Amino acid sequence: MSKILIIEDTETIREELKTFLNTYGFDTKAPTNFEHIIQETLNEAPDLILLDINLPIFDGYYICREIRKQSDVPIIVVTSRDNEMDELMSMNLGADDFVTKPYNTQILLARIETILRRVQGSSMRDTLVYNDLKLNLSNGSVTYQGEKAELTKNEIKILSCLYKNKGKIVSRDDLMDFMWNADVFVDDNNLSVNVTRLRKKLEALGMEKNIETRRGLGYILP
Partner 1 sequence: MTLKEYVKDRTVFLLTNFILFIIVGGIMLLVGINSQTVLLIFCIWFCPLILYMWIEYFKQKVFYDELTSITENLDQKYLLPEVMKEPETVEGKALYEVLRQANKDMHEHVKSYRDRENEYREYIETWIHEIKTPIASTRLIIENNQNDVTRNIQEEIKKIEEYIEQVLYYSRSNNVSKDYLIKEVPLVDLVRKVIKRNSRDFISKGISVNLEKVEGTVFSDAKWLEFILNQLIGNAIKYIRERNGKVIIHTVRNEHNIVLTIQDNGIGITEKDIHRVFEKGFTGENGRQFGKSTGIGLYLCKKLADQLGLGLTITSKAGEGTKVSIIFPLTNVNFMQ
Interface contacts to partner 1, rule CB under 8 A: 10, 12-13, 16-17, 19-20, 23, 80-85, 101-105, 173, 176-177, 180-181, 183, 185, 187-188
Residue 128 or 182 having the CB closest to partner 1: 182
Which residue's CB is nearer to partner 1, number 40 or number 177?
177
| Beta-bridge mates of residue 219 | 170, 213
Q: How far apart are CA 110 and CA 97, in angstroms?
A: 12
Instruction: Report the DSSP beta bridge partners of residue 108.
Output: none
Q: How far is the CB of 63 from partner 1 (least distance, A)?
A: 18
Cβ nearer to partner 1, comparing 130 with 180: 180
Residue 122 CB, shortest distance to partner 1, in Å, is 24
Residue 108 and residue 99 in contact, taking contact as beta carbons nearer than 8 Å: yes
Task: In whole angstroms, give the CA distance from residue 79 to residue 86.
Answer: 9
Distance of alpha carbon 83 from alpha carbon 59, whole angstroms: 17
Residues 6+ apart with CB under 8 A from 124: 117
CB of 93 to partner 1, least distance (A): 18
Least distance from partner 1 to the Cβ atom of residue 187, Å? 4
Nearer to partner 1, 20 or 34 (CB): 20
